[in-house]
Amino acid sequence: MSLALSTTERSELIARHQGAIDGSLKTKLITIGVIAGMVALFVYALTTFELDFWRIINGFSSLGKFVVLMLPPDPGSLTRAIIFVKALFETIAIAFLGTILAAILAFPLGFLAAKNVVANRIVHFLARRSLDTVRGVDALIWALIWVNVVGLGPFAGMLAIMTSDLGAFGKLYSEAIESADKKAVEGVTSSGGNKLHEIRFGLIPQVLPVIASQVLYFIESNTRSSTIIGIVGAGGIGLHLAETIRTLEWQQASFVILLVLVAVSVIDLISNRLRFAIIGKRAV
């Protein structure tokens, strides 16, 4: 049996769905408006920021001088090296504990913000906007807030990472839950399961590998973020990095940067292996 359409049938099919083929005027206007807005913003940035590519090129010579001053990396003494290494482990602990606490607290919020779990539009809207509000404040700002609330030290840094990641995890969890396969949930429902059974046996097994992968990535990312928030007094190696730069101890600064790079590389290697183990694939 031939499935080819005749010229008349083809014309009738096109005429019947011409609106879908051409697209709506509203969609076209929105697309044009978004593109025009992005172009206008780009032009505004070029004219306002006074971009000068020759200044960038000439600045490479200054950058080269800084690189020369940083070589070779040298902590200055064994005592300083031990202090830097201890501060590095403190930074890793801040990132790890803050990320884990945020992941745990965001777990129920992710279900609350998912449309396929909470049908009430008001509850869904409030949950999403609350997560967006928390996520919209950078970790460095949260660090400044918590330093003034609980004082200087790693505890403030941990709270800053936890608060910043709470909104991000909640959003990512809700998106993973909303994209889960409905067949598993329908199977639980057809077997007589209630709403809690649908979540426990239909949704959680699907989203758990995704959530675990996201948590592992954030631990690696937050190791770098913890370095930055340490500059404002939230503990970790960031304070030592700021001090070495302020006192022009460039070799010590490069030693601290090298420690952070090594730590991030090791964490990335470990998290990649764990991630592939969780999703059932073998790391190459």
Distance, CA of 12 to CA of 226 (rounded, Å):
63
Least confident range of 59-63, 109-113, 198-202: 198-202
Give the residue with greater pLDDT, 250 vs 26.
250
User: Phi and psi (nearest 5°) for 17?
Assistant: -115, 30
Q: Is 195 helix (H, G, I), strand (E, B) or coil?
A: helix
Record the tokens describing residue 224, joined without a space. 């770098």
Distance, CA of 227 to CA of 87 (rounded, Å):
10
Beta-carbon contacts of 69 under 8 Å, excluding residues fewer than 6 positions away, are 250, 251
How many residues are recorded in the chain?
Answer: 284
Record the tokens describing residue 211, joined without a space. 């959530």
Write the CA distances from 176 to 119, 160, 212, integer angstroms.
Answer: 16, 25, 12
Predicted local distance difference test score (pLDDT) of residue 117: 74
Q: What is the 3-state secondary structure (H, E, C) of 199-255?
A: HHHHHHHHHHHHHHHHHHHHHHHHHHHHHHHHHHCCCCCHHHHHHHHHCCCHHHHHH
Residues 171-175 have a mean pLDDT of: 85
Predicted local distance difference test score (pLDDT) of residue 38: 92
261-278: pLDDT as tens digits: 888 888 888 887 887 777
pLDDT band per the 50, 70, 90 thresholds, residue 52: confident
64-86: pLDDT as tens digits: 777 887 788 888 788 888 988 89
Distance, CA of 231 to CA of 152 (rounded, Å):
11
C-beta separation of 279 from 242 below 8 A: no
Among 166, 160, 107, smallest CA distance to 133 is for: 166
Among 117, 124, 120, 121, smallest CA distance to 197 is for: 117
Predicted local distance difference test score (pLDDT) of residue 17: 62
Residue in the structure block whose two tokens are 């080269």: 64
Q: Is 70 exceeded by the pLDDT of residue 14?
A: no
Q: Is 90 exceeded by the pLDDT of residue 35?
A: yes
Among 81, 80, 97, 94, smallest CA distance to 235 is for: 94
